[in-house]
Each structure stands twice: as structure tokens, then as C-alpha cells.
Amino acid sequence: MLIGGAVFPLLGALTYWYPKITGRMMSEGLGKITFLLVFVGFHTTFFPMHITGMAGMPRRVYTYAPGLGWDTLNLISTVGAFTIALAVLLFLVNAARSLKRGRRAGDNPWDAASLEWATGSPPPPYNFPHVPVVSSRTPLWTERERLPVLTGLRVDDRETLLTTVVEAMPDVREPSPEPSVWPLLSALAVTILFVASIFTPWAIVWGSIPVTIALILWFWPRKLEPRPEPVIE
């Protein structure tokens, strides 16, 4: 269940987004071998378990008396498990090797439709120089040649765009905060409060003072004089 339901998609997702994360493709040949090994290994491991289960073996025991008719089936499962392990090892080798030697991926190696494939691989820290406009669920297939974008966010200050909830129309330009040490100090103060409260209830009273100070300084606006927005004529 976990292998088929969670590990398969995990390996698939890693392969899919590897080029976006690293800028390089994983080896397709190795990938096909990995797929075959993990697929065959999965069924070799888990199909016999259906039969061992019907033969009366409980789940999640690692040892049992011989001669119960479970031996061969478990041997097959073990072979399958090692096959999966080999496949995962091969996957890791592929990932490590492709980091330096993989083919350059470009922005959108899969011709995928979603927005992350419209920016560089790996993406710059700001993701997009301009806010993209999305008019369908497959934006990169709808607009193949050009990426529709909006201009007009501040360029001298951090600002992000809020949209309406349902229609996703531009609604508010939200200033985003500068880097600040106060979230960290607030977290430390809260940690001290809770750890100390194990030993004395008064920690809740006295510990709330540094928490309050840190939170207020976090909230307190930095800029005393808001600069006017620059205007390009």
C-alpha cells in the first residue's frame, strides 16, 4: 500500500521535477531500468503476501516456525524486496550522476502546461520577474509563444499581488516584510515559555513578557517615512 500509493508517486514526482530543481535531466535509460526493477520488485514482494496471508501468516512478524508452508512464498517476497532496494539505489545513483552530467533541461523539457515550467530551471529566487496572467488551467498550452504578464508592482520595495478569492482578479498590492530576526526570537521566547511551564506555572506569566516584546517588535513597522512610489514616465 505505502510503496504503491506513496513511494511510486514520490519517485515519479522526483523524476518529473528534477530538471526544474537542478536544471538537468535524469538519465532516461537508467530511469527505464529503475522503473522495470521497481515495478517487478513491487509485485514480486507483495503478490506472494496475498497467498501467505491466506495461508494464515499474520502481518508484520519477522520470524516464524519452519514447515508452516510459508517458507518459499516469503523467500520470493525477500527477493522482490531486494529488487526494490536495488531500484531505489539505482535511482539515487541516477540522481547523483545527473547533477553534474545530466543533459541541460531548459525551462520546459516536458512541454508541460503548468506555470512552474515558464520560469528558469532552477528558478531564480523571485520565480518570475513579472506576475504571469493565467486564463486557463493549462496556461502554457493556451499561450505557446508569449507569456502574458502584468507590470506595475513596486520595483524598489517588496510587494506581492493579492487576488480575489474566486475569480483571481488583481485586488490588492500587499507589501511583504523585509528579512527580520524577530520571528526567530519570538519562536525562541515561546519555546522557553512552554519548556519552563513544565517546571512552574509562573513561567506562563513571566515567560509571556519576552514573547510579547518579540511579537510587538516583529509587528512594528520598520519604515518611519514611506517613500513615494517611483514613477517611470
Q: Which residues bind another protein (CB under 8 A)?
A: 106-108, 118-120, 129-131, 133, 140, 143-153, 159, 161-162, 164-165, 170-175, 212, 216, 219-221, 224-226, 229
What's the closest the beta carbon of residue 151 comes to another protein, in angstroms? 5
**CB distance 195 to 163 below 8 Å:** no
What's the closest the beta carbon of residue 138 comes to another protein, in angstroms? 14
What's the closest the beta carbon of residue 117 comes to another protein, in angstroms? 10
∠200-181-230 over CA atoms, to 5°? 145
What's the closest the beta carbon of residue 14 comes to another protein, in angstroms? 22
Q: Which CB, 72 or 180, lies closer to another protein? A: 180
Separation CA 106–CA 33 (nearest Å): 24
Separation CA 78–CA 44 (nearest Å): 8
Separation CA 27–CA 87 (nearest Å): 14
Q: Which CB, 67 or 226, lies closer to another protein? A: 226
Q: Tell the burial category of 107 from Cβ atoms under 10 Å away from its Cβ (0-12, 13-18, 19+).
A: middle
